[in-house]
Amino acid sequence: MDPYAREDRLLIELSRSGAVRRARLCRDRSDWRALARLVSTGRVKAYPQGVVALPHVDRATIVARRVGGLLTCGRALAHYGIAQREEPASIHIAVPRGHTHIPSGVGRIVIHYVDGLAPKDPLEPPIADPESVVLTVMRCADELDALIALDAAVRIGLVDKTTLLARLVGPRNGRLRGLVGRADPRARSLLETIARYDLQEAGQEPEVAADLGFEVDLLMGRLVIETDGYAYHGDRKSWENDHRRDQSLLRRGYVPLRLTSSQVLSRQTVQLVEPVARRLGCWREE
């Protein structure tokens, strides 16, 4: 094979994940020589533990390769398109139970030892399988962030409750099984999950995705609670549609209460809903 064609092939294979162990990339001595040329010219960067990466690849992917594990928690949720309250700050890596060697010099990372961690093609991005990601989030994040991930993952079909519960046997996992039971795939956004969670923590049981001729976010008796993220309600067409919906609800005796995304994210849901719900007689006393 022409040396330049060999280099191109290595670059194409490396681009699938951005970073990989040399031994997984090179098939023969000619590949090793071609890779050495790519490193010497700066088209590929070399790291400890025999890892090579394209120059633009993020640190998390490189660290996962050096550790020999798979990214999980926040960075994996982002990979699967699951929205979070905050951008992930730390690097969380899943490794099979029994994995003992964590190399020095990788910086501060969080290691999760996961039973049943599904193996990945070594040339594909080092991202843990969805079930393992959701399970590590449930063990690692606070209850609300875990529920946000659960709602979204079940809604888009990444995981299902039955499979998750099968990996949560035993008395030590009772709290996590309860969290799976609280997950509701009808929640269409993290705002709906947050609002529902805060109301439930206040002793209420709002109906999710109630059908009133059109779907509403949350329903408590005659009170309709809508969580308005600007991305979906910021254009004129959406603004007009929201007003038509409110008018339809009012004609039929419902009271619409719209909460802004900043109000929901700053955990003001109960503070704003309770006075209105009490006046309407739909606030459940403990």
- Give 206-253 pLDDT, tens digit per residue: 999 999 999 999 999 999 999 976 555 556 777 788 889 999 999 999
Residues 103 and 124 occupy one common structural domain: yes
Q: What average pLDDT does the segment 33-61 reach?
A: 96
Q: What is the pLDDT of residue 231?
A: 52
- pTM of the complete model: 0.90
Q: Is residue 286 part of a domain?
A: no
User: Does some domain include residue 224?
Assistant: yes
For the segment 160-183, the average pLDDT, to the nearest whole number, is 94
What's the pLDDT band for 60 if we cut at 50, 70, 90? very high
Query: What's the Cα-to-Cα distance from 215 to each of 43, 150, 156, 218, 243, rounded to whole Å?
Result: 52, 21, 18, 9, 15
Question: Would 160 be classed as within a structural domain?
Answer: yes
Polymer length in residues for the chain: 286
- CA diameter of the chain: 79
Q: How big is the CA angle at 281 (ends 277 and 286), to the nearest 5 degrees?
A: 80
211 found inside a domain: yes
> Looking at residues 96-106, what average pLDDT do you find?
86
The structural domain count of the chain equals 3
Is the pLDDT at 1 greater than 90? The verdict is: no
Pair 67, 173 in one domain: yes
Statement to judge: residues 122 and 228 lie in one domain: no
On whether both 153 and 105 belong to a single domain, the answer is yes
Final residue before a domain boundary, out of 168, 185, 202: 185
Same domain for 168 and 51: no
Torsion of CA 172, 175, 177, 183, to 10 degrees: -160
Burial class (CB in 10 A: 0-12, 13-18, 19+), 74: buried
